[in-house]
Chain A
Amino acid sequence: MLAYQPNAWTALGDPTRKAIFELLAERPRAVGELASELPITRPAVSQHLRVLKNAGLVRDRPVGTRRIYGVDADGLAALRADLERFWSKTLVAYKAAVENSAKEDE
């Protein structure tokens, strides 16, 4: 029953993707630039970018023959990620609390 949709938190749970996201937050960059700043190959960078894009954290646009990636300017993705984390933590604590109280009553 564990069914996580691709979401911003799981996307940023990976340290490499987190590093890519932080670089893009500084300024938009092309795949080649990202690869030169990180200890991974261009195909690996592209793959991580795809995950970030699916999670709604990153957008790309063509500039000449290159694609430039940047942080998605729609702040909803960031807000959602924040709230997903908040409510997930809250509900995990809730489940523990409700099930412990059940044991106490028995």
Chain B
Amino acid sequence: MTADIHAEASSVRITIVVEAPIERAFRVFTEDFDKIKPREHNMLGVEIAETVFEPRAGGRIFDRGVDGTEFQWARVLAVDPPNAVVFSWDLDPNWQVEPDPARTSEVEVRFTAESPQRTRVELEHRNLDRHGDGWEGEHDALGGSGGWPLYLERFGALIAAED
């Protein structure tokens, strides 16, 4: 994998270079998002039938379960084909829906042609600190490290899945 992972305090940035023209690079991301999102990230009680990415400002990104139930976890904020797409991340740190938009982060994916057949794709997931409001309070309320098990459970499960 050609990737450069760089993390600042409140953002995650990943760059990848793909061997494809920019138009195709953009199209596959927005039209085939269903194929590329890891299926194990599933907040539905049932298996995911598909992930729908509506590539227009005001569109939604949601998972649809095999029983028809939907789980929306993002709002599409801006689409500028084939250069960029920006969407919100409406999940809290425990991957539950965050109903308050002020406490959601956002993801920008930028596409840049390096040559007619090669495209650089930069993904930035920023404003992560917005999810942080109340962490300290929660931490205190639960007593010492008591606020941690939720994270750690997730961590543990994810790491176990990696092994």
Footprint of B on A, CB under 8 Å?
1-5, 7, 12-13, 18, 21-22, 25-28, 70-71, 73-76, 78-95, 97-99, 101-102, 105
The interface residues of chain A, by DSSP majority, are classed as helix
Contact B19 A85 (CB under 8 A): no
Footprint of A on B, CB under 8 Å?
1-7, 9-10, 12, 14, 16-20, 24-25, 28-29, 32, 35-38, 41, 93, 95, 121, 123, 125, 128-129, 131-132, 135-136, 139, 144-145, 147-149, 151-152, 154-156, 158-159, 162
Contact A76 B2 (CB under 8 A): no
Q: List 11 A-B contacts (CB under 8 A).
A: A22-B156, A74-B132, A74-B135, A76-B10, A78-B93, A81-B155, A83-B128, A88-B5, A93-B37, A94-B16, A97-B36
Contact B12 A84 (CB under 8 A): yes
Give the Cβ gap from A63 to chain B, nearest Cβ, in Å. 15
Q: Complex formed: what's the CA distance from A18 to B144 in Å?
A: 21
Q: Known contacts A76-B132, A99-B19: does B155 contact A1 (CB below 8 Å)?
A: no
Q: Complex formed: what's the CA distance from A27 to B144 in Å?
A: 9
Residues of A within 8 Å of B10, CB to CB, are: 76
Q: Complex formed: what's the CA distance from A73 to B73 in Å?
A: 26
Residues of B within 8 Å of A76, CB to CB, are: 9-10, 128-129, 132
Contact A3 B36 (CB under 8 A): no
Residues of A within 8 Å of B19, CB to CB, are: 99, 102
Contact B145 A25 (CB under 8 A): yes
Contact A90 B37 (CB under 8 A): yes
Q: Known contacts A5-B7, A90-B37: does B148 contact A99 (CB below 8 Å)?
A: no
